[in-house]
Amino acid sequence: MNWSIVSKTAMGLVAATLVAACQPHDPAAKAGSDTAASGNGAAKTYNVAMNANFPPFESTSTNGEIVGFDVDLMNAIAKQAGIKITYKNQPWDGIFQTLTSGDNDILISGITITPERKETMAFSDPYFEVKQVILVPKGQDVKSINDLNKLTKVGVTTGTTGDTAAQKILGTTSPKIARFESLPLVIKDLQDGGVQAMVSDSAVVANFIKQNGDKGFSMVEVPDFPKEEYGIAVRKNDTDLLNKINDGLKKVRDSGEYDQIYSKYFAK
């Protein structure tokens, strides 16, 4: 494989590369390798997957399009990197395995970089910082980890770092931890009076409070929870793709586009 020719071909296609978020998945562009071009010279389209249940990073608009910070950022990176992408909405549970199965090539989904996850996937440079926080209905007195321990049910999304954080406090097998498949389901249970608190990423909880100010929820910050960084994940051996993503991310930061996208979603 002549990589310099491949990358020139890819660069030449930059102008035509960006694929709209609503573009249907093309099964002919089956993933599974890091090859930037297929045999006939057409640029490969990378499948980018996310669990679009996590606003403002990814959610589905009323017309079914996947939108959010991660989509805008990934579009900007793809443009800078000269790669063609298409988006897929994927359940959170099992999303990491879709890289190894070859169903997807890139995951951007508010994914926290952790040492365990680094064993099976490669991560880009960090692109966002959060920490775990607690969302409670106003009046629910949770100010510390100790207070969290006194509650009977704490909701998390299965397999998230919020799940891990809750386990650290309440115990790995604690019956107090109520696990849900997605963030909207945890929030619904909290609103219905099921769980008394939820543990999730600060930027997502803050966004929920901003959107639902009148519904009387508040965010409790616990100093014991460490900071976390989001990264874009690819297969461990897709070094060429990872380098392109990192270069793209750097250009998006240097050009000021990152800041523009940031203020679109996180304006005060």
Q: Which residues bind ligand ARG (CB under 6 A)?
A: 50-51, 53-54, 58, 92, 109-112, 160-161, 183, 201
- Closest by Cα among 54, 55, 35 to 95: 54
Query: Are residues 225 and 131 in contact, defined by beta-carbon separation less than 8 angstroms?
Result: yes
SS3 48: strand
- Which CB atom, from 17 or from 47, has the smaller least distance to ligand ARG? 47
Tokens of 38: 């297929």
CA distance 24 to 236: 26
Residue closer to ligand ARG (CB basis): 36 or 225: 225
C-alpha 189/C-alpha 11 separation (Å) is 48
Considering the complex, what minimum distance in angstroms separates the CB of residue 108 from ligand ARG? 9
Residue 143 structure tokens: 């100010």
- Min dist CB 157 to ligand ARG, Å, is 6
Written as one letter, the residue type at 252 is: V
Minimum gap (Å) between residue 134 Cβ and ligand ARG: 15
DSSP strand E in the chain: where?
45-50, 53-54, 58-60, 66-67, 84-89, 106-107, 122-123, 128-137, 154-157, 177-180, 197-201, 217-221, 227-230, 233-234
Supply the minimum distance, in Å, between the C-beta of residue 51 and ligand ARG.
4
Residue with smaller CB distance to ligand ARG, 82 or 110: 110
In the complex, least distance from residue 91 CB atom to ligand ARG, rounded to whole angstroms: 9
- Comparing CB distances to ligand ARG, the nearer of 54 and 258 is 54
- The SS3 of residue 253 is helix
Partners of 117 in beta bridges: none
Nearer to ligand ARG (CB atom), residue 34 or residue 58: 58
Residue whose pair of structure tokens reads 């803050």 in the numeric block: 206
Which residue number, 82 or 162, has a Cβ lying nearer to ligand ARG? 162
Q: Which is nearer to ligand ARG, 17 or 182 (CB)?
A: 182
Minimum gap (Å) between residue 69 Cβ and ligand ARG: 11
Shortest distance (Å) from residue 40 CB to ligand ARG: 35
65 phi/psi in degrees, rounded to 5: -85, 145
Helix axes 239-254, 69-81, angle to 10 degrees: 110
